[in-house]
Structure 1
Amino acid sequence: MDSDLEEHLRAAFRDKLRLLLTVPARDAATLLPSTRVLLKRREVAEVGQALQSRREEFRRRMERLAQRREQLARREEEQRDVVLKYDAFLQERARAAAQGAEAARLHRELEGLLQHRERLARRLRSLRRFGDYLRDALAGMGQFQDVPAMLVHFGVLAEARAALAQEAEAGQERLAQGRARLQRYQEEMSTELLGTKGELAQLHMRLEAARQDVLQWESCWAHVQSTATQKTLLLGQIKLAVLNLFQLCTAQLRIPMDVALEDTEAQLDMLLLCMQGLTDICA
């Protein structure tokens, strides 16, 4: 701040000197030296007064700034006190709210405990007749010392019954699993039996078709055998006729029989030659 004021005063002094230096030459020449000295002194006095007024103004401004700083410091301190008091108030309020919430929770817990005690009391009243019944049963049985011993005995019996029931349930489950496996096996066997029946029906159909084919082939074979027999008989008749003709021709023409009796082809050739010879003779 002091450097700014000094710079401002220097600028004002330079402005004053610039004004003095810009005085017209004819005015400076016409003035007396004493007058010029007075003018210079007056200018210096004016500059000094201006500097003094600026310093006074700067001092007042600094005082106002100091007062402002003090006021700001006091206000900051007051605000800090207010904030601290407000924080303390909030903390106290939070503690009070927490205590109120804790009190409400304890009150609810107390109400719950009272309700639970009331339920237990009602249950005790409802179970009292069972206690009387157990004491009467204990007196009637005469084999237990007190009710807890009797309850322990019946507890053991109940556990044994539960174990037997569990074993029975496990047996029922195993039985159900066995039945399920048997059912699946029966279904598989039924499916396989149906498939086997289908295959058997197909085989039966193939057997019937084979039988029909056998009958057809047997009929064909019988027909072939019958035809072969007829052809054989006809062939025998033809051979016999050829032999008769051959013997007749050779006897009539007195040709020596140098052909075997079974050689029908040679006999036919001989007959053909004889017939050609007769044809030539007749021609």
Structure 2
Amino acid sequence: MARAGDMDDYFKTTFEDKLLVKMPDRNSDHLTPATKLLEKRRETAEVEQALGTQKEEFSMKMEALQQRRDELERKEVKLKEQLFRFDAFVKESDLKRSRALKKTKGEQDLCKQKDKDIQRLQEEILKLSEVVNNQQAQISKYTLYQKFMDRVLEFTPEFDESREIITRYEALRQTRDDLLKTEITNQDTIESERAKLAKFIEDMNNEILHCNNELARLQTKLEDGENEAMKWDSEWTRIQTTAAKKTLLLGQIKMATHNLYVLVYKHLKKKIPPQESGETLLQLDKIQSFVKDLTEIVHEIKRHESASAPNMQLLASPRYN
């Protein structure tokens, strides 16, 4: 006979493997009503079969438990008889009596545990009955979809059974999902490329704006340079013109000075020294000295205007010899 723990494991395994509703691997939200109906029919048949097996096993377990209880009761009666018969002997053997009492208590606890297991199994039977009722209600609800699938098969000769229509639908749905995923991926790629293009255009516009600003700055700098160059060209032209005029004037002055210098030496009737022939400053000094002397002479002439003889003597003075 199975123990209480073995029975718990057995019912737990049976409940999880057979009685729970087994859902298909694919998402139930995408199943058609016909598919759900077929699944529910199959699951209901499995549940009813499992319930029948469970009922038989439960009956066998109940008989075994009853036999065990009867056997325990017989043992208890027999033990009591032996206790009364060998009262003196039991008193002398306290240790044996204590062990017997512990054994009896353990068996009584086992009986109580079995009673609890029976109560728990009855509750599970009630729950399973509710599950069966719910499954039957769902079967009644999905019967309408089964009729619809049957009518569809009448108008679609290329399909022989509902499973072919469901398979075709699943294939089309999967294809649609793949296309939607591809479309989403392509949209994400397009958005990413658009963002990159916008960023590139923005960067290029900023670069062009920067280049235009730099070009305007360089153009302004070029214009300033050209204006500065024109100003210095004008200044250079003016300097060249002034230098030419100054050079011409200097040449004229040198020529006039040389002519005066020659006139002075002609007047003095002397030969021009070679060292003074190209020295304008020396010539100017000679001219200045001659003009100074000549001025003094003129002043003396004016002072002695009435006396001509003394004036002639002054002109013949050894100072100019």
Alignment TM-score > 0.5, same fold: yes
Which residue identity does 1:267 align to in structure 2? T
Q: Give the alignment of 1:140-219 within 5 angstroms.
A: 140-145=155-160, 149-219=161-231
C-alpha change, 1:84 and 1:170, in structure 2 (3 Å) is same
Alignment partner, residue 127 of structure 1: 142
Higher relative contact order, structure no. (Cα contacts within 8 Å, ≥ 6 residues apart): 2
Q: Report how far residue 100 of structure 1 moved.
A: 2.8
Given that 2:153 and 2:162 are in contact with CA atoms closer than 8 Å, whether structure 1 keeps it comes out as yes
Q: Distance between the aligned counterparts of 2:91 and 2:278, measured in 1?
A: 162
Q: Distance between the aligned counterparts of 1:102 and 1:157, measured in 2?
A: 48
Given that 1:250 and 1:256 are in contact with CA atoms closer than 8 Å, whether structure 2 keeps it comes out as no
Which residue identity does 1:124 align to in structure 2? I
Given that 1:138 and 1:144 are in contact with CA atoms closer than 8 Å, whether structure 2 keeps it comes out as yes
Gaps of 5+ in 2: 1-89, 297-321
C-alpha change, 1:246 and 1:95, in structure 2 (3 Å) is same
Q: Report how far residue 230 of structure 1 moved.
A: 1.8
**Shift >6 Å, 4+ stretches:** 255-259, 280-283
Q: Distance between the aligned counterparts of 2:287 and 2:107, measured in 1?
A: 165
Among 152, 175, 179, the alignment partner of 1:137 is 152
Which residue identity does 1:221 align to in structure 2? D
Q: Report how far residue 119 of structure 1 moved.
A: 1.4
Q: Distance between the aligned counterparts of 1:126 and 1:208, measured in 2?
A: 88
Alignment partner, residue 248 of structure 1: 260
Among 235, 238, 242, the alignment partner of 1:226 is 238
Among 243, 249, 266, the alignment partner of 2:279 is 266
Which residue identity does 1:270 align to in structure 2? Q
Identity percentage of aligned residues: 7
Which residue identity does 1:139 align to in structure 2? E
C-alpha change, 1:159 and 1:277, in structure 2 (3 Å) is same
TM-score by length of 2: 0.53
C-alpha change, 1:274 and 1:115, in structure 2 (3 Å) is same
Q: Distance between the aligned counterparts of 1:223 and 1:203, measured in 2?
A: 29
C-alpha change, 1:258 and 1:105, in structure 2 (3 Å) is farther
Given that 1:245 and 1:271 are in contact with CA atoms closer than 8 Å, whether structure 2 keeps it comes out as yes
Gaps of 5+ in 1: 1-73
Q: Distance between the aligned counterparts of 1:257 and 1:179, measured in 2?
A: 104
Q: Report how far residue 172 of structure 1 moved.
A: 2.4
Q: Distance between the aligned counterparts of 1:156 and 1:137, measured in 2?
A: 13
Alignment partner, residue 37 of structure 1: none
Which residue identity does 1:201 align to in structure 2? N
TM-score by length of 1: 0.60
C-alpha change, 1:160 and 1:258, in structure 2 (3 Å) is farther
CA RMSD of aligned residues (A): 3.3
Q: SS where residue 114 of structure 1 aligns?
A: helix
Which residue identity does 1:204 align to in structure 2? A
C-alpha change, 1:210 and 1:83, in structure 2 (3 Å) is farther
Q: Report how far residue 194 of structure 1 moved.
A: 1.2
C-alpha change, 1:132 and 1:164, in structure 2 (3 Å) is closer
Q: Report how far residue 279 of structure 1 moved.
A: 4.4
Given that 1:243 and 1:267 are in contact with CA atoms closer than 8 Å, whether structure 2 keeps it comes out as no
Q: SS where residue 108 of structure 1 aligns?
A: helix
